[in-house]
Chains A and B, each alone.
Chain A
């Protein structure tokens, strides 16, 4: 590798930096995507619109309503005054929940008996409805301890639960590592395929072949600048995650660097293979849609892997992004290192080795 190679390297760097569109993909995309996912998606159950019909109208029933609205889980809205109106409002989506307290509520409680209340819950959003049900039961339990006239007793098995890694259950901490991987995936494939395809489209690849450098050197000179810019991409993503969303970085930076290096090789190889099978940038772009969409959907970036049906969960085992996101969450949130993540890292290594040798051989064949 003589001066020819270094000249080639300089050329590749300059070419990459001159392309404004690629810089947008590398820098602006992570900013926009991370902010959008981090601020827009949250599974929290808060501010549900609740309509109440209180036939009991006593201090106790009002206390029950206050208990429901206290933690901002429910916001009190106009109920329409009677049960028919209330059900209509829930049906039309104007209310998320309705509560009917019967006239005998106060009396039953005073006698130390169990009082029933009726709840209508809009369950279109199955997930929210499930969590809401759990909340309600907890709120009613607490209410009982505060208002019981008689002995209510205590639970004999006391469950003391702790949320690890993300004690405040901050929603963005779930999405952000996924988005970092997703953005790297999209940017890596697009940028690496387009740098090769531009040479192909303009016909300058043949000119490169006539120079004294070997085809391996041409490929390496292409890869090094890509490595640098993709690491910049990760750096931008990480700084936003930590700066705006206060994502913790609990693990070893060196481990993250190594894992990311492996994953960059994976996406770069996919990009290079893409460039060898398509004849222009448009085609590559379209084909990349067919790759990116399933890769992202089946990666666990948006919805947890455990929730997927078995077929798709097994399919996701073939998805390199899945392993990268597990590693990102491991290093950033859980603070674990290679000693625990080695199975994932090994899989990523195999992916990188296989895909890289495949794409390099395809590239060479096309040059020959």
Chain B
């Protein structure tokens, strides 16, 4: 009991100190809100309104209909270009693709011969290059059907059912990841700041001299920033419901438990980083590096984890965000039984305890060395 009382006294002091610094309060609440908006809206992979240049060397009706058909779907928008060479619109990034229709296009089709169309696609945007190619192939098929021209009949027709996200809305995929990114980094940063501040201002010596133990100190600070972290989490989750219109379809209790453990893992990591770093600059470096690299790149936030090159892919097994994103996708998109990802809360708890132990050990060592 005494342990808890002393830890809570530390928590109270920390929260009081936090309130007094407007810049940190902004960092804690305003930046996560803005970050969520940006990630949610701007991290879209699939381009809509893809600019396409047409080089039509044919003057017949067929080619005009073909061009109309390409732009009728709304996936592509035409751009006017004045350059001489068909590569020009791609070189100056005005178009993502150029479609070259040869002069004999209409004549050949009229005589029931095959006509060839050349498509030049900007491969620098790797993801959309594939999408453009597939999109144009599908539109060409529909053009052939529409004109009653012979086309290859596929004998196997797939009836594809898209589960969970039939409209293929990218927000449903990105929002859980953005929640994970934001609720980890900012509380971790603040906790690290708090630890380093004691060191930089020398007040840590007073703490050494007092009867508070390393465990109580870390616990006290962690509880303070855990409260702030949960507030951040509440803000961004509400934002997801209101701004991004994400539904809640999962098990609330399972998601709540995962959120608690996940926020705790971030805060505990921050306190550990604070015991290691000697100044705030280093603390920020550690938290930002681990936070952004881990939660953004190794967590499946944007692209699937299976695409990560081995052996770097192994690291993602100990990234907390990875497990939280799975839990969040269950909660917001899948709505399946949470038992399928029973390991998520277990791993999150494990990661939290690991960094708590590291932090306490680091703190003890510091006390001895002084």
Contacts and interface: CB of A to CB of B under 8 A. Distances in A.
| Interface of A: prevailing SS | helix
B173 A125 contact: yes
Contact of B43 (A43, A297, A340): A297
Contacts of A40: 297-298, 308-309, 312
Interface in B186-218: 193
Contacts of B156: 64, 109, 114-117, 140, 143-144
A159 B117 contact: yes
Contacts of B254: none
A130 interface: yes
Contact of A336 (B92, B151, B161): B92
B317 interface: no
Central interface residue in A126, A287, A326, by most chain B CB within 10 Å: A126
Interface string B104-138: 00000100111111111111111111110111111
Interface stretch (B265-273, B330-338, B361-369): B330-338
Contacts of B135: 134
Contacts of B109: 156-157
A148 interface: yes
24 contacts: A21-B282, A21-B285, A39-B312, A40-B297, A42-B303, A43-B127, A43-B303, A47-B306, A116-B159, A118-B159, A123-B165, A123-B166, A131-B134, A135-B134, A152-B153, A152-B154, A161-B118, A161-B119, A169-B123, A290-B31, A297-B39, A303-B43, A306-B128, A312-B42
B340 A136 contact: no
Contacts of A263: none
Interface residues of B, number: 108
Listed from nearest, the 4 A-B pairs whose CB atoms lie closest are A134-B134, A92-B340, A166-B123, A163-B123
Interface of A: 21, 24-25, 29, 32-33, 35-37, 39-47, 64, 90-94, 109, 112-131, 133-138, 140-141, 143-145, 147-148, 152-167, 169-171, 173-174, 190, 194, 281-283, 285-287, 289-290, 293-294, 297-298, 302-304, 306-309, 311-312, 326, 329-330, 333-334, 336, 340-341
A309 B162 contact: no
Nearest to B280: A282
Contacts of A91: 163, 334, 336, 340
Contact of A304 (B112, B125, B164, B336): B125
Given A117-B156, A119-B161, A154-B114, A294 B38 contact: yes
Interface in B1-53: 23-24, 26-27, 31, 34-35, 38-39, 41-51
A200 to B, nearest CB: 15
B333 A124 contact: yes
B122 A117 contact: no
Given A118-B161, A155-B141, A330-B91, 9 more contacts: A43-B303, A121-B161, A128-B304, A129-B165, A129-B168, A155-B152, A156-B113, A165-B122, A340-B92
Contacts of B150: 153-156
Contacts of A293: 31, 34-35, 38
A32 B290 CA distance: 11
Contacts of A294: 34, 38
B165 A158 contact: no
Contacts of B47: 304, 306-307
B68 interface: no
B38 A309 contact: no
B293 interface: yes
B138 A123 contact: no
